[in-house]
């Protein structure tokens, strides 16, 4: 039976436990498995493969509309692994606004990778950028923290002309709102720490692929050889969390739209970055996303002192990194999540001292707006 998304999140990956009838699968904590004779086994050693991770990986592949998935100990471990499957000493094209940790990995850790950062809002002369050393195009859409939207379908058509894969970081949208593989992406990475986990109590990451013949062996090899894998307990927690992904995301989408409407007309807000409003992005967002998500960034009409006063005044928004949990969070990208990017680059992108990023939770939206309102009055 071809399942719809809301059914997949609940029924994919496992059915009732064969031994006990348990509706939820057991957590297989064993680190090693008995072999009937040397080399004859279903599972060998838990880093390589284990039943709890198998369930999660099947589930992740289905909800991303991919053919195969691989779970990792963090989003960064997933991104690092994706880079490693292409070898060393190569070139990539990357959208210019990406998570600070991704940029740090590309610029400062993967020294064998030469990166051309591209503003997808401008006309791109692909012939000038792509060379025979180019291995992939990296997209983060919506982007962190400026909520830029890139047309995935369009870019994947360009990528095909150059025979390059598109790798898309789908963390901000989550597979509920956007499934890049359905519109041309080859590989999807996510930080499952965010919406997939949804409760700010797991760190995890995933890679989902559409062409196992090309990539599966290489990823499985690195997953085992490097060993940046999630524990069976974290795999279980994620499987459990994903069951409520649809209902959580519906509420995130709804609450964020109302908060964005409120902030958009507030005199102390100079600019709001939210996919549903931005005239540059709203049509592409509406085309490739099923909802605009729970993330937005705002530029406050004040200096750092005023911004800090606003932050101190908030009661329901916790000042903390990360996003995608049921509780609302707020953070200061220039000092927190994007501090590892050089100040000049940051400011040229628009990550200024009066920019704040909000992750809208699923609390009562009237309470969230009232909290923002009273804090803005203090500036
Ligand atoms: C868009 C995006 N990708 C990747 C990551 C890295 O994920 P993790 O923190 O799980 O390593 C983050 C973390 O904030 C992120 O926002």
pLDDT digits (tens, 9 = 90+) for 357-366: 999 999 999 9
Residue 320 has pLDDT above 90, yes or no: yes
Clarify whether 236 is annotated catalytic: no
pLDDT digits (tens, 9 = 90+) for 70-121: 999 999 999 999 999 999 999 999 999 999 999 999 999 999 999 999 999 9
Q: What pLDDT does 159 receive?
A: 98
Probe target for ligand 1 pocket from 103, 170, 193, with the most ligand atoms within 8 Å of CB = 193
Q: Side by side, which strands form the sheet with 90-95?
A: 68-72, 205-209, 187-191, 166-169, 134-140, 90-95, 113-118
The Å distance, Cα 143 to ligand 1 centre, comes to: 11
Mean pLDDT of 118-142: 97
* Average per-residue pLDDT for the chain: 97
In which element (H, E) is residue 242 found? helix 232-242
pLDDT digits (tens, 9 = 90+) for 204-262: 999 999 999 999 999 999 999 999 999 999 999 999 999 999 999 999 999 999 999 99
Q: In this structure, what DSSP letter does residue 107 have?
A: I
Distance (Å, whole) CA 100 – CA 334: 10
Q: Side by side, which strands form the sheet with 329-331?
A: 269-273, 295-300, 355-359, 329-331, 318-319
Q: What pLDDT does 275 receive?
A: 95
Q: What pLDDT does 121 receive?
A: 96
Clarify whether 290 is annotated catalytic: no
Residue 179: band (very low, low, confident or very high) from pLDDT cuts 50, 70, 90 = very high
Question: DSSP string of 41-101?
Answer: -S--BTTT--HHHHHHHHHHHHHTT-SEEEEESSHHHHHHHHHHTT-SSEEEEEESS--HH
For residue 125, give every residue at least 6 positions away whose Cβ sits within 8 Å of its Cβ, in sequence order, or none: none
Task: Please identify which residue in the block is written with the tokens 């530029």.
Answer: 299
Distance (Å, whole) CA 191 – CA 76: 8
Clarify whether 194 is annotated catalytic: yes
Long-range CB pairs of 345-349 (<8 Å, 24+ gap) are 349/96, 349/97, 349/146
In which element (H, E) is residue 289 found? none
pLDDT digits (tens, 9 = 90+) for 46-83: 999 999 999 999 999 999 999 999 999 999 999 999 99
pLDDT digits (tens, 9 = 90+) for 150-165: 999 999 999 999 999 9
Q: What pLDDT does 1 receive?
A: 82
Q: Which of 194, 248, 268, 346 is catalytic?
A: 194
Q: What pLDDT does 19 receive?
A: 93
Q: What pLDDT does 185 receive?
A: 98
Question: Where does ligand 1 bind, in terms of residues with CB under 6 Å?
Answer: 74-76, 99, 101-102, 140, 144, 169, 171-172, 191, 193, 203, 205
Q: What percent of the chain has pLDDT over 70?
A: 100
Hey, what domains does the chain have and what are their CATH numbers?
A: 5-242 (3.40.640.10), 245-377 (3.90.1150.10)
**Pick from 287, 265, 261, 288: nearest CA to 274:** 261
Q: Is the peptide bond before 145 cis (omega within 30 degrees of 0)?
A: yes
Q: What pLDDT does 96 receive?
A: 95
Residues across the chain: 379
pLDDT digits (tens, 9 = 90+) for 3-27: 999 999 999 999 999 999 999 999 9
């Amino acid at each position: 039976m071809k399942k719809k998304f809301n059914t997949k999140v609940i029924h994919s990956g496992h059915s009732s436990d064969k031994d006990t009838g348990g509706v939820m699968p057991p957590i297989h904590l064993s680190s090693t498995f008995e072999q009937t004779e040397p080399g004859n086994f279903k599972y060998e050693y838990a880093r390589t493969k284990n039943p709890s991770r198998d369930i999660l990986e099947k589930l992740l592949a289905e909800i991303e509309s991919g053919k195969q998935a691989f779970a990792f100990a963090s989003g960064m471990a997933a991104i690092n692994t994706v880079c490693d499957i292409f070898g060393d000493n190569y070139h990539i094209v990357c959208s210019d606004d990406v998570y600070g940790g991704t940029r740090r990995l590309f610029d400062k850790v993967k020294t064998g990778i030469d990166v051309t950062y591209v503003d997808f809002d401008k006309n791109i002369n692909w012939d000038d950028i792509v060379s025979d050393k180019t291995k992939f195009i990296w997209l983060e859409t919506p982007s962190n923290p400026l909520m830029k939207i890139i047309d995935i379908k369009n870019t994947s058509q360009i990528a095909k002309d150059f025979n390059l894969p598109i790798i898309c970081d789908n963390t901000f949208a989550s597979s509920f709102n956007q499934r890049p593989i359905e519109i041309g992406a080859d590989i999807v990475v996510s930080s499952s720490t965010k919406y997939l986990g949804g409760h700010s109590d797991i760190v995890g990451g995933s890679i989902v692929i559409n062409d196992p013949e090309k990539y599966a062996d290489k990823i499985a090899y690195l997953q085992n050889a490097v060993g940046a894998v999630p524990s069976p307990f974290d795999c279980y927690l994620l499987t459990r969390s994903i069951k409520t992904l649809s209902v959580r995301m519906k509420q995130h989408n709804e609450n964020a739209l109302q908060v964005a409407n409120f902030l958009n007309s507030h005199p102390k807000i100079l600019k709001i970055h939210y996919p549903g409003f931005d005239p540059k992005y709203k049509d592409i967002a509406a085309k490739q996303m099923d909802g605009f998500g729970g993330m937005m960034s705002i530029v406050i009409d004040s200096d750092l002192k005023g911004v800090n006063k606003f932050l101190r005044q908030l009661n329901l928004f916790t000042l903390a990194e990360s996003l995608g949990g049921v509780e609302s969070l707020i953070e200061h990208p220039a000092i927190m999540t994007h501090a590892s990017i050089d100040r000049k680059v940051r400011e040229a992108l628009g990550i200024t001292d009066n920019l704040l990023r909000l992750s809208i939770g699923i609390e009562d939206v009237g309470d969230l707006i009232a909290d923002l309102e009273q804090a803005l009055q203090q500036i």
